[in-house]
């Protein structure tokens, strides 16, 4: 029987980062950068104003405030985006807006709130606007009430980045801030690893679409929906097919067609059901003659019967057991990391944290157990299902382990534990506890490794 970690390694070996493609900025959201992004020039590209106010020579207003206001003649306007370069000579100022280039001769900006428009410079003598909030236009005077130092309220060229700086690195997952950074350096597109497209195939004569009328012996197909949703949650696109009846020839034709690209690009196939030792295990029968596919028992509960390999065209395939909790747990520990690797991520596992068992239960001898658990509320902590500060989330570094008294408490998601058929209660689980194969029993108060799902 293959160990849990050994089988995880075998499933990961089937995956590799997908080829890089160039896509428009917004289409890169959620994908993984394949190449670094550098800036071709300084950011900002020129000194610019951080405030609405007046560009001045700091020396001209050095005595402002202590000796009363200093009057300067306003010679021009500069708005954001303006190419104008009016010169600030001694005794003059330029009205400037936030983001506008600082004009030649100026070395500081006085915010408009620190200025006053004298009566002879008002737009109209009848205005009711306070003098300190008025603007002095070109040809008038402005009074500066407070001194400024050189560089005050000026954003220097290159303050954010200098030419050649790396602003985004290969391996980054593109988020909104990455999109903004790329746009700021003039990039309208990014080179990312292509999003995988994974086919999901559920099998079984007993399966019917959700909402269809059931006859005796039939059940709604939940697995294809579960796995398709899990594929999307992992960051891939899902092609949901099925349910496929227990017809080995028909299933083999479908898998061959998927491998050949007859259903569009498919980067992997996940099946559920038909991999155990039953008389009608259709997946094993359909793939019996495929030398690149193997079926192995894995020392894990739930999810002992597993299969994996490559079809003749090179498409990876993971064949999972059909009981819903088995499919769910198997996908989490075996398939999800492989999909994350296809995306180009370096860290593909969900971070694990330490938790304290709130109750005890028996475990299967000689097999690791994947127990669906829910987080228990404790005094002074968030409600169940809400990670506390410092608790690792998917894609975040695990960080230091919390002290024993700060660890979350977990219990089995249902009283029936890890029963592989308990799909209706699966939504109660916040994660999976990993109980090692050498542990025969979990006791209340034991420390467990858990990853939140």
Q: What is the pLDDT of residues 39-86, one digit of tens each?
A: 999 999 999 999 999 999 999 999 998 889 999 999 999 999 999 999
User: CA-to-CA distance for 211 and 206, rounded, in angstroms?
Assistant: 14
CATH number at residue 114: 2.170.190.11
Kindly state whether residues 54 and 149 are assigned to the same domain: yes
Number of domains in the chain: 4
Contacts with 302 (C-beta within 8 Å, 6 or more apart), sequence order: 321, 323, 325, 326, 329, 330, 370, 418, 419, 420
Residues 330 and 240 in one domain: yes
Inter-residue contact 285 to 307 (CB < 8 Å) = no
DSSP β-bridge partners for residue 239: 199
Looking at residues 109-117, what average pLDDT do you find? 95
pLDDT at 113 over 60: yes
Q: Check pLDDT > 70 for residue 441.
A: yes
- Residue 379's pLDDT is 56
Same domain, 299 and 204: yes
pLDDT of residue 386: 37
Confidence of residue 242 (pLDDT cuts 50, 70, 90): confident
Residue 347 lies in a domain: no
Residue with the bigger pLDDT between 230 and 126: it is 230
The candidate with the shortest Cα–Cα distance to 267, out of 31, 23, 19, 32, is 19
Q: Which CATH number fits the domain that encloses residue 366?
A: 2.40.340.10
Mean confidence (pLDDT) of the chain: 89
Q: Are residues 201 and 143 in the same domain?
A: no
At 119, the pLDDT band (50, 70, 90 cuts) reads confident
Where residue 395 falls among pLDDT bands split at 50, 70, 90? Answer: very low
Whether 130 shows a pLDDT value over 70: the answer reads no
Instruction: Return the pLDDT at 205.
Output: 85
Q: Is the pLDDT of residue 296 over 50?
A: yes
DSSP E strand stretches across 311-408? 316-320, 353-357, 361-362, 368-376
Give yes or no for a contact between 239 and 200, defined as CB atoms under 8 angstroms apart: yes
More confident residue, 133 or 135: 135
Examine the domain organization and report whether 138 and 74 are in the same domain: yes
Judge whether residue 330 has pLDDT over 70: yes
417 pLDDT more than 70: no
Give the pLDDT band (50/70/90) at residue 404.
low
What domain range includes position 58?
Answer: 48-155
| Claim to verify: residue 208 and residue 326 sit in the same structural domain | yes
Same domain, 183 and 269: no
Per the model's pLDDT, the better-predicted residue between 389 and 168 turns out to be: 168
């Amino acid at each position: 029987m293959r160990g849990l970690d050994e089988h995880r390694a075998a499933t990961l070996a089937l995956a590799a980062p997908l080829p890089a493609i160039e896509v428009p900025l917004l289409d890169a959201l959620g994908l993984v950068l394949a190449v670094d992004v550098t800036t071709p020039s300084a950011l900002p590209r020129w000194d610019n104003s951080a405030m609405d106010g007046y560009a001045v020579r700091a020396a001209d207003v050095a005595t402002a405030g202590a000796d009363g206001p200093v009057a300067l003649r306003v010679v021009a306007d500069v708005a954001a985006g303006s190419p104008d370069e009016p010169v600030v000579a001694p005794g003059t100022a330029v009205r400037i807006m936030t983001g506008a280039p600082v004009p030649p001769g100026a070395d500081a900006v006085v915010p408009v709130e620190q200025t006053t428009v004298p009566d002879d410079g008002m737009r109209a003598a009848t205005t009711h606007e306070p003098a300190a909030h008025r603007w002095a236009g070109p040809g008038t005077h402005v009074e500066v009430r407070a001194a400024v130092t050189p560089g005050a309220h000026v954003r220097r060229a290159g303050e954010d980045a200098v030419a050649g700086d790396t602003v985004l690195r290969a391996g980054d997952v593109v988020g909104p801030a990455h999109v903004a950074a790329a746009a700021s350096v003039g990039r309208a597109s990014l080179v990312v690893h292509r999003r995988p497209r994974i086919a999901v195939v559920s099998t079984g004569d007993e399966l019917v679409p959700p909402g269809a009328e059931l006859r005796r012996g039939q059940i709604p197909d939940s697995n294809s929906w579960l796995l398709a949703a899990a594929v999307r949650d992992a960051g891939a696109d899902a092609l949901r097919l099925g349910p496929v009846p227990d017809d080995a020839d028909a299933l083999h034709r479908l898998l061959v067609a998927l491998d050949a690209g007859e259903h569009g690009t498919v980067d992997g196939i996940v099946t559920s059901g038909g991999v155990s030792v039953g008389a009608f295990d259709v997946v094993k029968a359909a793939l019996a003659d495929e030398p690149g596919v193997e079926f192995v028992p894995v020392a894990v509960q739930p999810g002992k019967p597993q299969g994996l390999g490559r079809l003749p065209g090179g498409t990876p395939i993971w064949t999972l057991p059909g009981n819903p909790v088995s499919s769910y747990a198997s996908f989490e520990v075996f398939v999800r990391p492989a999909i994350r690797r296809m995306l180009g991520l370096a860290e593909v596992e969900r971070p694990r944290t330490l938790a304290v068992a709130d109750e005890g239960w028996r475990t299967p001898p000689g097999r690791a157990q994947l127990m669906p658990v829910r987080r228990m509320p404790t005094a002074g902590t968030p409600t169940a299902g809400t990670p506390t500060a410092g608790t690792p989330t998917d894609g975040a570094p695990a960080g230091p382990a919390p002290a024993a008294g700060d660890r979350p408490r977990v219990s089995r998601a249902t009283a029936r534990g890890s029963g592989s058929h308990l799909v209706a209660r699966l939504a109660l689980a916040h994660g999976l506890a990993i109980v090692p194969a050498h542990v025969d029993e979990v006791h209340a108060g034991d420390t467990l490794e858990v990853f939140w799902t």
